[in-house]
Amino acid sequence: MKIAALIVAAGRGNRAGPGGPKQWRALAGRRVVDWTLAAFDLPEIADRLLVIHPEDRAEARLPGIRLVAGGATRSESVRLGLEALAEDGFDLVLIHDVARPCVSAQVIRAVIAALAKTPGAAPALPVSDALWTGAEGRVTGTRDREGLFRAQTPQGFHFDAILAAHRAHEGAAPDDVAVARAFGLDVAIVPGAEENLKITWPGDFARADQLLKGPGMRIGNGYDVHAFCDGDHVVLCGVKLAHGRGLKGHSDADVGMHALTDAIYGALARGDIGQHFPPSDPQWKGAESHVFLRHAIDLAAQMGLKPGNADVTLICEEPKIGPHAQAMRGALATIMGCDIDQVSVKATTSERLGFTGRQEGIAAQASVLLVPA
């Protein structure tokens, strides 16, 4: 299956404010066009073609990127791009607006996958806001949002079908889905993404800049204590150790893993274990603490972050931690989905001072660095 990406970059972008056409403007250390082309640098994509304004050839000199001059309208620019690719034997084509530099590989691949069953596919988001009509600054009516979607790109098609559709189409069209449907082609909707924004207004640059730079690094600290109770073992950092007493807790009382989990929640500014897994909830009684740590890691991933490194210190007189530290590091690394070299587990005593010195319980503290995923 041979796939081309056709990036439409011939517009002037007057609504984006001063600074020249938006595709050539700086964004998060690169240009808008550079981010967009990089998003389609995927193994599935055999070729990338950029449709440009005839006056922009100097700005558009990019290694490995084919160029073609566009027309007076978007529809004409797309047709000219398709004609330039027509003799190269492409099975599929993805048509994308250069002003959507934050498109993800997940969205692109969802469009490609959908084309196995339909001649066209495009990402979109359901409209969730109330819709009004208005005039002269006043509301004049409402519209039902049921069944309405916010269209995005890339819009993908079987190459020969969309080329024929554009050749047959007369006049302008809002996008390639409109051209395809006018030609009688079915177009599937795949899930879009809020991050796949289109830079239209001056304020959109700041939003795209933040998305492309990512959340940045975050640091968190955690601390936990569990008292000794009757028992024959303790669980520390995911490793079960034989011991003359157990640790008292609603879950398995893994004090080291609890401190690390709270450190991650702290880095994310998302509270602590008690807020996510209330001890008053009976379903967590006796739960293994890897459930809590995995939840924190998954939450970090949703925010675009992953572990950079983690450091856990266990504070106790007994049991001896040194012989088991390597196994603990491995257990934590497995749960966190990182390399063992990114995890430190060590121990110290309190010189027989305080409750840990009196062997009434074990304390733990942890620090974690989260970095962009």
Partner residues linked to 345 by β-bridges: 312
- The pLDDT of residue 343 is 98
**Distance in angstroms (rounded) separating the CA atoms of residues 337 and 3:** 33
Q: φ, ψ for residue 49 (rounded to 5)?
A: -120, 135
Give, in order, the Cα–Cα distances in Å from 337 to each of 106, 159, 267, 291. 20, 40, 17, 13
Nearest to 209 by CA among 34, 33, 29, 27: 27
Contact in structure between 310 and 365 (CB atoms under 8 Å): no
pLDDT given for residue 373 in this prediction? 79
pLDDT of residue 302: 87
**In this structure, what token pair is assigned to residue 176?**
């390639």
pLDDT score, position 176: 98
Regions of the chain with pLDDT less than 70: none
The total of other beta-carbon atoms located within 10 Å of residue 179's CB is 25
Q: Give all domains of the chain, ordered by start, each with its CATH number.
A: 3-213 (3.90.550.10), 218-372 (3.30.1330.50)
Compute φ and ψ for 295, nearest 5 degrees.
-60, -45
User: Given this model, what pLDDT does residue 12 score?
Assistant: 87
pTM over 0.85: no
Cα-based distances in Å from 166 to 47, 117, 151, 157: 20, 21, 19, 12
Can you say how many angstroms the Cα of residue 112 is from the centroid of all Cα atoms in its chain? 19
Q: What is the pLDDT of residue 297?
A: 97
